[in-house]
Structure formats: structure tokens, C-alpha cells
Structure 1
């Protein structure tokens, strides 16, 4: 059985592939920016806790750096400013 390759070489096919590449690139950039934002938010929470002189255990550090939710990290950052122990940022979760 012979397969006609003319479509795959056509300008329409090339246009479709270009659109797919552009969409993939855009999605990849958005995901990268989001991951960078989340990572930065986790670093900010840790920075506040450490600058306040609070002990940050490996467990607390792991929970913070393992969190992928930017909104939750923001809530933890707000709590990090006022808690007396690092573990208290997780209260209410």
C-alpha cells in the first residue's frame, strides 16, 4: 500500500506544524515561569523564617520546597512574619 506524502510536504501541513510548535513553546514558557514563581515563593518563606531566627527543620524545609501551590506559599509567607515557631505556618491547613 502506497502512502501519499504530498500532504505532509504541503504548505498547509507546514503551517499546522508551525502552529503546534508555537503553542508548545508558549505552554513550556508559561509552565517554566510558573515553576520559577513557585520556587521563588518557597525561597521567600524560608528566608523570612531564617531571618527571624526561627529554626527551620529539614521536615519544614521539605514541606515548603515541595509545595507547588503559589497561593498556599503566599499564605505561609504571611504567617512566617508573625509565627513564633516555623511549624506554625502550617496551622489551619
Structure 2
């Protein structure tokens, strides 16, 4: 019979706890990044709305589903100067 004592040893429990802690940290980081992306997308829509620029459903969806922070940053900057919502998607 195989020796399974390692799986219940303090060392194995420490290794598992380190893995759980890493997983929690990664999950928190992913959650923060997701929150920042959502906030940036919302800010784009707020700026366009404040400027009374109509935003079609397809454009709104493209903005709110994007998760790339650099793309969203570029769109946010452009939202302050474009004449139409479509123009925020020009080459960065």
C-alpha cells in the first residue's frame, strides 16, 4: 500500500494554503481590473452623454464589453473631443 501520509502532513497543508492564498490574491486582482474596466467604460458613456452625443446600442455594447484597459483609456480620451460616438473607435 502507498504511503499517503504526505497528503495530511503539516507541510502539505502549508503548500495547499499557499495555493489558496495565491488563488485569492489572483482573484482579487482580476476583480479590481474588471472593476476598473467597467468604471472606464461607464466614464466613456458619461462623457458622451454629457456632450449630448447619441450612442447606438451596438456602440454601447462594444464599449461595455471591452476589457482592455489601454483601449478603454484611448476611447475615454477621444470621447472628450469626437463629434460622433463612432469616432472613438479610430486608430489609436
Structure 2 distance, partners of 1:92, 1:55, is 21
Counterpart check, 1:50 vs 2:49: yes
Structure 2 distance, partners of 1:16, 1:68, is 33
Match of 2:62 in 1: 63
SS of 2:54 mapped into structure 1: coil
Q: How large is the RMSD of aligned CA atoms in angstroms?
A: 1.0
TM-score (norm 1): 0.94
Match of 2:34 in 1: 35
Unaligned runs of 5+ in 2: none
TM-score (norm 2): 0.95
Structure 1 distance, partners of 2:8, 2:89, is 57
Report deviation, 1:9: 1.0
SS of 1:83 mapped into structure 2: coil
Unaligned runs of 5+ in 1: none
Runs of at least 4 residues off by over 6 Å: none
Cα deviation, 1:29-78, whole Å, max 9, x if unaligned, reads 00000011111110000110011100000011011011111111111111
Structure 2 distance, partners of 1:51, 1:3, is 69
Structure 1 distance, partners of 2:8, 2:72, is 49
